[in-house]
Amino acid sequence: MTSSKFTFPDATGPYSPTQANGGVTAEDMALSGSGASYNGTYLALPAGTYLTAGAAGIVTPITGDPATTQTPEELTLEYVGILPTGESPLVSLYDYDDGEFSLYNHWDTGRVRLRIERSGNTQLIESDGGLSTSSEERIAVKYVDDPAGAGGTVTFLRSGVAFGASQSTNFKPRVTPDAVLETNASLGNTSNSVPQQVSEVSLTLGATTPPPPPPPPPSGNGKVSKFIFPNATGPYSPAQLGGGVTAEEMALSGSGASYNGTYLALPAGTYLTAGAAGIVTPTTGDPATTQTPEELTLEYVGILPTGESPLVSLYDYADGEFSLYNHWDTGRVRLRIERSGNTQLIESDGGLSTSSEERIAVRYVDNPSGAGGTVTFLRNGATFGASQSTNFKPRVTPDAVLETNASLDNTANSVAQQVSEVSLTLGAATPPPPPPPP
């Protein structure tokens, strides 16, 4: 997997990509046109003004077959911002008459669509509806090639989770080195340019995470509970996928919380709590393995604080814990796990921002034949640092209390936080992709 992520922290540019594993493109994005502004979160592009990297230089496999040459085995485009209300290119990759893979905002408000092209043949693939045009959306489209078929599979993603059913393509999209990368225009054409507010654009070539080892039948079967915080009053009910992980609401405890239209601001001493979350994990007769999740992911979206603090805490005192903490070493997070009084701390790599939004997660995958399992930190859904082993298996009981900015109501290490989402995933959130061709 290689990726290039562009962030837009000002209204001048140019904007160099942050690269993973060499990156997808070495080109900077630059502004074309006038009137762009920056409000501290989003780069505002008026109609007619756009971002361009020119020819992105993306290399895909060349074959002797015009139906397959320069097909990406897997390609994801992601856009983070406030979706506009008119049709407009969000992330356009276009080489005129040869190939295109472009994510568009749809004229039908609350949807996006993918436009693909090969040698003059085009296809439009539409997402489900219901996307917001007033709150931030992290929307992506992923293509996975079927090497034995005429096309492949397209999946839209919302905040990293599949958004609607996967759909098949009639042919394989073509991405050439001459494909031009732009936002709010396509090949410099601004006829369908509209006002946009964007904070990130990213491209990922290849799988976003290595496939995990084959697990036993998952206990959660991809259950997700996601909390969003659109006001400073609450309570906040979880959005559920696959039945959800917890039915409990999160509520505010303490005073002084505020909402700025994007983030719920929690002052030190004020926290979110769901009480005992009621999470059910497999019970065995072995105290070293009972109530071990086969796969569990905690995710936090917000502006990371500068002091040590619980971001997502799941804690049943002296029995078990699985908690994602902000680290006292600014720019890092860490996982705290416990089983029957034994504890282990696992630290992430550094380099996380404390001024721009981070989508940071930690995932545990159990090794049923070993003493523990594997922990992987994720940043924007992609692996952040090497996976690490645990010395024992974490224990998650129905009495484990779910909180943010406190742990079992203890606010001794509570700090000022700005949070927009918290989510829990039990089991794999999406099925692993089919193995790629050689």
- Give CA–CA dist 212/215, Å, rounded: 8
231 and 199, same structural domain?
no
* pLDDT (tens digit per residue) in 357-401: 999 999 999 999 999 999 999 999 899 999 999 999 999 999 999
Q: Which residues make Cβ contacts (< 8 Å) with residue 243, sequence separation at least 6?
A: 223
Last residue of a domain, one of 178, 205, 232: 205
pLDDT at 210 over 50: no
Number of domains observed in the structure of the chain: 2
Determine, yes or no, domain membership for 213. no
Determine, yes or no, domain membership for 218. no
* pLDDT (tens digit per residue) in 301-337: 999 999 999 999 999 998 999 999 999 999 999 999 9
Region 274-281: mean pLDDT is 95
Do 272 and 250 meet the contact criterion of CB atoms below 8 Å apart? yes
200 and 298, same structural domain?
no
Q: Which residue range is the domain that position 386 belongs to?
A: 223-426
Q: Please, which pLDDT band fits residue 209 given cuts at 50, 70 and 90?
A: very low
Q: What are the φ and ψ backbone dihedral angles of 95, each rounded to 5 degrees? A: -120, 105
330 and 233, same structural domain?
yes
When the pLDDT of each residue in the chain is averaged and rounded to a whole number, the result is 91
Q: Give pLDDT, residue 243.
A: 86
- The CATH number for 245's domain is 2.60.120.200
417 and 323, same structural domain?
yes
- Give CA–CA dist 3/23, Å, rounded: 5
Q: Give the residue among 304, 270, 312, 300 at the shortest CA–CA distance from 396.
A: 312
**What's the whole-model pTM score?**
0.52
pLDDT at 437 over 90: no
Q: What is the DSSP string of 254-282?
A: SS--EE-SS-EEE-TT-EEEEEE------
Helices marked H in 57-119 — which ranges? none
List the beta bridge partners of residue 1: none
Determine, yes or no, domain membership for 437. no
Q: Give pLDDT, residue 207.
A: 56
pLDDT at 13 over 50: yes
Determine, yes or no, domain membership for 214. no
Do 123 and 169 meet the contact criterion of CB atoms below 8 Å apart? yes
- Give CA–CA dist 327/183, Å, rounded: 35
Going from the C-alpha of 70 to that of each of 95, 172, 175, 276, the distances in angstroms are 12, 9, 6, 52
Q: Give the residue among 361, 297, 351 at the shortest CA–CA distance from 138.
A: 361
**What residue has token string 């979880």?**
238
Q: Give pLDDT, residue 427.
A: 83
231 and 183, same structural domain?
no
Q: Give ∠ CA 46-205-141 in degrees, rounded to 5.
A: 50
Q: Please, which pLDDT band fits residue 428 given cuts at 50, 70 and 90?
A: low
279 and 166, same structural domain?
no
Do 279 and 431 meet the contact criterion of CB atoms below 8 Å apart? no
315 and 186, same structural domain?
no
Determine, yes or no, domain membership for 132. yes
Determine, yes or no, domain membership for 210. no
201 and 237, same structural domain?
no
* pLDDT (tens digit per residue) in 133-165: 999 999 999 999 999 999 999 999 999 889 999
Q: Give ∠ CA 269-308-244 in degrees, rounded to 5.
A: 75
Determine, yes or no, domain membership for 431. no
Q: Give pLDDT, residue 214.
A: 36
Q: Give the residue among 48, 6, 11, 12 at the shortest CA–CA distance from 29.
A: 6
Q: Give pLDDT, residue 206.
A: 81
Q: What SS3 class is residue 371?
A: coil
Region 59-82: mean pLDDT is 94
What share of the chain has pLDDT > 90, as a percent? 87
192 and 237, same structural domain?
no
Report residue 175 as tokens.
């991405």
339 and 378, same structural domain?
yes
343 and 370, same structural domain?
yes
Last residue of a domain, one of 171, 205, 239: 205
148 and 6, same structural domain?
yes
Report residue 255 as tokens.
């005073």
Q: Give pLDDT, residue 21.
A: 84
Last residue of a domain, one of 175, 205, 235: 205
Q: Give pLDDT, residue 320.
A: 95
* pLDDT (tens digit per residue) in 31-55: 999 999 999 999 999 999 999 999 9
Do 101 and 92 meet the contact criterion of CB atoms below 8 Å apart? no
Determine, yes or no, domain membership for 406. yes
- Give CA–CA dist 274/200, Å, rounded: 31
DSSP state of 338: E
